[in-house]
């Protein structure tokens, strides 16, 4: 079943990889790797960037569009809107 494209789908770009641990593989290396293996299947979603040391509630942290594969040490990316 094919999903309907949304505005977030059109914003997918490698610029959204900046700050991700795997951005090293988007041509930012001397190994000759040109693209991160997660980028092709990634999609945009709205998540909260929550420090692992922060206690709830996290409602003050805004939902921001990010790639589904985005990861960063010390943070959890939570998509629940509650």
pLDDT average, residue stretch 57-71? 90
Rg (CA), the chain: 14
Indicate left, alpha or beta for 77 from its phi (over 0: left) and psi (-120 to 50: alpha). Answer: beta
Residue 3: pLDDT over 70: no
Percent of the chain predicted with pLDDT > 70: 85
Report pLDDT digits (tens) over 10-49: 678 888 999 999 988 888 888 889 999 999 999 998 899 9
Q: Among candidates 68, 64, 72, 66, which has minimal Cα distance to 23?
A: 72
> What's the domain range around 32?
7-78
- For residue 69, is it within any domain? yes
pLDDT digits (tens, 9 = 90+) for 72-82: 999 999 987 65
| Number of independent structural domains in the chain | 1
For residue 11, being part of any structural domain is answered with yes
Tell me if 1 is assigned to some domain.
no
């Amino acid at each position: 079943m094919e999903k309907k494209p949304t505005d977030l789908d059109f914003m997918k770009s490698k610029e959204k990889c900046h700050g991700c641990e795997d951005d090293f593989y988007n041509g930012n290396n001397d190994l000759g790797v040109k693209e991160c293996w997660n980028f092709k299947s990634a999609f945009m979603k709205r998540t909260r960037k929550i420090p692992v040391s922060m206690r709830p509630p996290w409602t003050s942290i805004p939902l921001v569009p990010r790639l589904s594969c985005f990861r960063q040490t010390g943070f959890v990316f939570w998509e629940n809107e509650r």
